[in-house]
Chains A and B, each alone.
Chain A
Amino acid sequence: MPEYIVEMKLITKKFPGIVANDDITVQIKKGEIFALLGENGAGKSTLMSMLFGMYEPDEGEIWVRGSKVKIDSPNFATKLNIGMVHQHFKLVQNYTIAENIILGVEPMKKLAGIFPYVDIRDAGRRIEKLSKKFGLEVDPDNKIEDVNVSIQQRVEILKMLYREAEILIFDEPTAVLTPQEIEFLLDIIKGLREGGKTIILITHKLEEIKKVADRCAVLCRGKLIDILDVKETSTRRMANLMVGREVNFETVKKPAHRKDVVLKVSHLTVKNQEHFEIVKEVSFSIRGGEIFAIAGVSGNGQVEIADAIAGLTKVSGGTIELNDTDITNYNIRRRTLCGISYIPEDRQNFGLVLDFTLSDNLALKSYFKKNFSPKGILNRGEIDRYGNKLIEKYDIRSGQGVRTLVRSMSGGNQQKVIIAREIELASPFMIFVQPTRGLDIGAIENIHNMILQERDKGKAILLISLELDEIMSISDTIGVIYNGQLQKTAETKSLTPKEVGEFMMGVRHG
């Protein structure tokens, strides 16, 4: 038996304008947890996509179990017992868990020796056995749409195990989980190692690596920086290697100077389309110069609160007051003009018109104002000038300046477009929902600084995020939401992440 189960030798992969992987060599031992650490865009996912057969390397060789292989499709990777859990789950929402797991490898039987059918019962038994063995309890008859993200992830893991995967690749598995769920997942990963599996963990979270990984390869801008023994390396050193410079772990944050109450939400109740109360009797207020964060597991009503305040969702009870004006029955445009800026969660479907140019998107909330359209006729020159001003001021990078179609821009720059537009509205109250999702460390730092700057200008800010780290590091006050109700509202300083996590799971009550 060779020492290494997977060897990727001198791998180079180029995309137009980018060398995604530059001469990378990694060797992975059987039965270890091998981590790939790097910022977004460092080339981690590309490297693993080649091992999983989604791309082929331009140069270099891949060896599995001591023999050279050419992995040209995920199917072939599966044959080599390689499995991958993608960042975005690939599950059929209205199929049951069992159906999802067997999809593509259905156990067939023949009724009366002629009519073929899928033996779902046998599959169910196998799934139960597997889930017992690795501590991945699921109910195979539940539909995917009825179970939470953490269970969905277990289904993805079971899918690999069902296909007898020996080498398991996890792509940013903890991004969608709560702290408690993360702990649980890391235990599962350790359990898989005990069961003789080899695990490759793609992540940019250092604590996770520290907790479970044996060895760790650090990638930076497509190059392999170093392969480290995790036990003997400090977290700080790993971070510095990953970013390529000294990192500030703490966001520099001045103490909050709270002013008058800007936003006051009282007994807010919102019903969803099925008339289910997704937000129940929520009350809170935000002062100028304060960042109020709502922490919670995805789907507990936090986005609906933001939509209700911005006017995108109807309120079924309670009031919303902005600077002592009751805006509960105002339409969206009127609320914007009263002073609400909104950075929505779904930037591509709500925040931007992807097929419009950069300047049109920057003017999306002000095109009707006198300076842009005197007498109802758009002044294109003025809109472009304004666009150029914001491009400069917010360092928005694009191919063709104000004429660039926003569709062709990178995610980080798309987010900058929205933030620039919303800050320029100069509203006294701003809503940020998941402002840094999917962005890399550099961009995150930048956006956090912008949010803090707005706070220091005296604005009231509502931050809704699924990243607990983000909430702990930049908010002044935290409201924890569970099942549509605020469980706890307190100064950020007075809470530990563990406590917040417990409130988020509804296991602790304020």
Chain B
Amino acid sequence: MTDMTSVRFVDRMPKFMRRLDPAVTTAFACILLLLIVGSFYSTSFLSPEYLLQQLKVASFLGVIATGMMLVVLMGQIDLSVPWVVSTGAMMACAAAAYGPIGAALAIPFGVLCGVLIGLVSGFGVAYLRIPSMIVTLATNAVAQGLMVVYTGGFSPQDSATPAMRWLATGALIPAVPNAVVVWALIGAAMVFILTRTTFGRSVYAIGNRERAAYLSGIDTRRVVLIAFAVAGGLSAFGGVLLAGYASKAAQSMGDAYLLPAIAAVVLGGTSILGGRGSYLGTVAGVILITLLQSILSVMQMPEAGRQITYGIVIVAMLLLYGRTPASRG
């Protein structure tokens, strides 16, 4: 009987609470912990302005991590983030140089470039069955090569369009940065896609057991292809926002986003083996990583210390709940 009542109770809880898994709870607990620790270092740490500023910084990572999550949910990984981010930023800025029409198309053009790179990666993974890690490393190298050729090895001179700047730094709703709104919209769309569409269900199914999804009559290869394209587009869009934030693109602006994006997804409870994870977790992971970065910089921890802390935190969290099941006794 107790079993039945507990089930009833669970049934009555809001849906997102029911799906809350320990990893997400842990991530939120860590966020609280970081906020408390941070407030010891600086009194302004808990002020609304500072928190909103953090949320704004987090939204760039949030957009990129959204794409990464989609890919990780299928049990794959996207290592092409660094140069897809840069490509998106540079191409959007480049389009801006072509008069008013270019400026108007800057954002879609940047995103489109990311989608194209994602399509190449997705084709390699889905149809050529090359491990995603290898394909995306290769497409990352190709994207880098293209950008080096395009820029001639120097930081590009084009600057972001007003629209990009407005998107990244403006505030349509007073006090709420546009970047945060953009992330919220993308996040909402992703939640809808993951939970309410055939595509989303297929992504989870492929991550759990591609064989079973295929035998259920799903064209799993097409789903994988599309997911990589979407991930590429989101990475590039993240780059567009970053370019708007800094008002121009830079060569290695994406380097700092690969590890945090993977970390945010994994720390948010998405299984690196695929098939399990909620967007709420990714949101928690993104905020957690951003706060961690912020605190480390408030503590004036040098880059070296940040990298080491990152690495250790990720390995430790993974050892806690990201292990593959033991094979054979």
Q: Do A and B bind each other?
A: no
- A interface residues (Cβ-Cβ under 8 A, vs B): none
